[in-house]
Amino acid sequence: MSYIVNRNDRLNVLVEDLTHDGAGVGKVDGYPLFIPGALPGEEVDVHVTKTMKKYGFARLLNVTKESPDRVEPPCHVFSECGGCQLQHLSYEGQLVQKRKTVRDVMDRIGKLPHVPVHAVKGMDDPWRYRNKSQIPFSERNGDIVSGFYRTRTHHIVDTDVCIIQSEVADDLMTALKQELHGLGIEAYDELTHRGMLRHLVVRKGRATGEIMVVLVTNKKKFPQKDAVVELIKKVVPNVTSIMQNVNNQKTNVIFGEETICLHGKSFIVDSIGDIDFEISARSFYQVNPEQTEVLYGQALEYAQLTGDESVIDAYCGIGTISLFIAQKAKEVYGVEIVPQAIEDAKRNAELNGMDNAYFEAGPAEVVIPKWYADGKRFDVLVVDPPRKGCDEELLNTILEYKPKRVVYVSCNPGTLARDLRILEDGGYRTQEVQPVDMFPHSSHVECVAWLEL
């Protein structure tokens, strides 16, 4: 009879793998236990906290045999904060683990054991890489707290420093925490829906150094705004843009619909390679521009452009990949369901003097057939979908019109593998997959896959 694991059991377990969110996986007679903080190759003492029919959860008590890749996390709130999952794993170990994650889903979900998965392209300096910080503020026992949410909760882990975001964000977070009460401003309370400041959002252009500060407030009327603007200018004398975004909804969505410029411009400019982008308060823009250049460079390499090709960029956003590709293609047609993003994309094309990039708002599976019906023909299709992967209708559209080459940029290896399987069954062949580490110290990994008809 197989061993049955029970809640409150104390066990010694060999850790074999990591889950997609960075927890160790140990097995007891084939029964998986998920153990946050444990690393592959380690023997650990655990306390079983929850058991389900097919798997359970356990708390790490003690490491009896340590992985050679285990390191001391440099962040003092790493064990509480939900922002990073892998600071206790050496950076070299993280890259090895992320490649293994991609290889495993290619084999298990995609049934693609023959497809090469290359070593992950990592960073020389994997710290302070985020160009955007979204910092929640709240009140606790009469004090203002700010920092980052504990995993799977809305409990703020109070801190003044985050070593993966910019020092500017740290400085502003600390200054606002110290000065808000003196200015007569309360932080927001989710339970009572009272208080003024909900979030501080800081964006910094890596190439330009331009800085945008967004104060997300619970009300539009902001009597103390001039004093807050002066405080921000004192902390960041060269600030480019100070914005107020109004969100008075009972929601965990950060931004509301209305944004007001309090100081400077309503956007900042940053560059990826030779392309400039205007970034507004609510624009989607990759948070690691150094690795974005690596990611897009890989997409460009896989597109194999000679200058004669017509390219579709599905899920084009504000045109970041489109304009990168337009440098080498005859023409690029971008489609995106969010109308505001399309307006941003058109403005960014104009900003860069590119007249061979065209953008249209709507669902890709509707707009692409319309382009074909208008007589357009395309050689290459690029997709960069959200974490859920490509919509089934878009995959059907690709298989119907059959561009000869597909470049798939993915932020979720599991849905990438699923979609590659569907495209393979429809006549494509996956040539290779290149993972890129966009989010060091987290369990996330991005990939670029190259497919030929």
Q: Please state, in angstroms and rounded to a whole number, the distance separating the CA atoms of residues 435 and 105.
A: 13
Query: What pLDDT, on a 0 to 100 scale, did the predictor assign at position 1?
Result: 36
Asked whether the predicted pLDDT for residue 331 surpasses 90, the reply is yes
Higher pLDDT, 424 or 340: 424
By the 10 Å C-beta count (0-12 exposed, 13-18 middle, 19+ buried), 24 is classed as buried
Q: What is the mean pLDDT of the chain?
A: 95
Residue 440 DSSP label: T
What is the rounded average pLDDT of the residues 327-337?
A: 97
Asked whether the predicted pLDDT for residue 210 surpasses 50, the reply is yes
Q: Please state, in angstroms and rounded to a whole number, the distance separating the CA atoms of residues 314 and 342.
A: 12
Is residue 411 among the annotated active site residues? yes
pLDDT tens-digit map of 387-417: 999 999 999 999 999 999 999 999 999 999 9
Q: Please state, in angstroms and rounded to a whole number, the distance separating the CA atoms of residues 421 and 114.
A: 13
Catalytic residue of the set 84, 162, 390, 411: 411
What is the rounded average pLDDT of the residues 334-361?
A: 95
The pair of structure tokens assigned to 176 is 């606002």
Asked whether the predicted pLDDT for residue 234 surpasses 60, the reply is yes
Nearest to 354 by CA among 275, 257, 293, 254: 275
CA distances from 293 to 127, 247, 406 (A): 17, 33, 19
CA distances from 321 to 149, 246, 303, 422 (A): 31, 30, 12, 24
Asked whether the predicted pLDDT for residue 284 surpasses 90, the reply is no
What is the rounded average pLDDT of the residues 40-48?
A: 97
Q: At what angle do helices 91-108 and 413-425 cross, to 10 degrees?
A: 30
The pair of structure tokens assigned to 41 is 């190759």
What is the rounded average pLDDT of the residues 266-279?
A: 94
Residue linked to tokens 């599976």? 365
What is the rounded average pLDDT of the residues 281-310?
A: 95
Query: What pLDDT, on a 0 to 100 scale, did the predictor assign at position 4?
Result: 81
Query: What pLDDT, on a 0 to 100 scale, did the predictor assign at position 3?
Result: 61
Beta carbons of 184 and 165 less than 8 angstroms apart:
no
Percent of the chain with pLDDT over 70: 99
pLDDT tens-digit map of 161-189: 999 999 999 999 999 999 999 999 999 99
Q: Please state, in angstroms and rounded to a whole number, the distance separating the CA atoms of residues 47 and 24.
A: 14
Helix (H) or strand (E) holding 17: strand 10-18
Q: Give the chain's domains with CATH numbers.
A: 10-65 (2.40.50.140), 102-123+288-452 (3.40.50.150), 132-272 (2.40.50.1070)
Query: What pLDDT, on a 0 to 100 scale, did the predictor assign at position 152?
Result: 82
Q: Please state, in angstroms and rounded to a whole number, the distance separating the CA atoms of residues 108 and 237.
A: 53
